[in-house]
Amino acid sequence: MTRKMVLETQRLVMRPFTLDDEDIISELYGDSDIMMFMPCGRLTDEEIRAHTRQVVSDWDARPQMNYEMAVIAKADSRKIGRARIHMDYGNDTAMLGWLLVRSEWGKGYATEITRSLLGYCFDVMRVHRVCALCHPDNIGSWKVMEKCGLRREAHYVRKVKYLSDDGTHWEDELEYAMLDEEFRRM
């Protein structure tokens, strides 16, 4: 992929983050409801600025491992989320991720994002396997994964260290995956 890469669905455009996208990163990573199932928890303004710089610079890394994209609603050009592909080139595997602003939950956007990322990973990047992770209580996310054809491979017990205002604690994690041949049969 290159900095010029753009993915489109019926209702969305996904394009590389720029420094001008700090607003959507702030809206996503600064919202405790959105970040409830993210190990890093809600980010401070300083952490958001640093994260924005990092995801923008990741597009210039070689080999490129992280592909972080702003998600834009076509209808009104609003930034509504983040889509991510993280590559493990040694194992021909991609890990997917997404975040949406709360006002856009339940509208099918996560499914649209996931299907688009799956297609890109298997058809363009030619990976062998795609996976996605989520907290077991994040029912919306694992339902999206299942709807898109990923299967639950594992339920890890106390695998991920979560940061919160109360300190740190360990949480479970679910792993979903799909192989190239499974994608081809869909």
Whether residue 61 has pLDDT greater than 90: no
Alpha-carbon distance of 23 to 20, in angstroms, equals 7
The residues, any chain, with a CB within 8 Å of residue 3's CB and separated by 6 or more, are 16, 59, 60
Mean predicted lDDT score pLDDT of the chain: 93
Segment 77-95 mean pLDDT = 97
Query: CA 170, CA 2: separation in Å to the nearest integer?
Result: 36
- The model's pTM: 0.92
- Count Cα neighbours of 133 within 13 Å in the Cβ-side half-sphere: 15
Q: What share of the chain is helix, strand, coil (3-state, %, to 5)?
A: 35, 35, 30
Contact 26, 19 (CB under 8 A): no
pLDDT above 70 covers a percentage of the chain that reads 98
Q: Which domains does the chain have, with CATH numbers?
A: 7-185 (3.40.630.30)
**Radius of gyration from C-alpha coordinates of the chain:** 16
- Taking the alpha carbons at both ends of the chain, their separation in whole angstroms is 24
Residue 148 exposed, middle or buried by CB count within 10 Å (0-12, 13-18, 19+): buried
| pLDDT > 50? residue 1 | no
> With bands split at pLDDT 50, 70 and 90, how would you rate the model's confidence at 4?
confident
Q: Which of 52-56, 97-101, 145-149 has the lowest mean pLDDT?
A: 52-56
Task: Collect all residues with Cβ–Cβ distance below 8 Å to 45 and sequence separation of at least 6.
Answer: 26, 30
Exposed e or buried b per residue across 66-82, where buried means at least 16 C-beta atoms within 10 angstroms of its C-beta:
bbbbbbbbeeeeebbbb
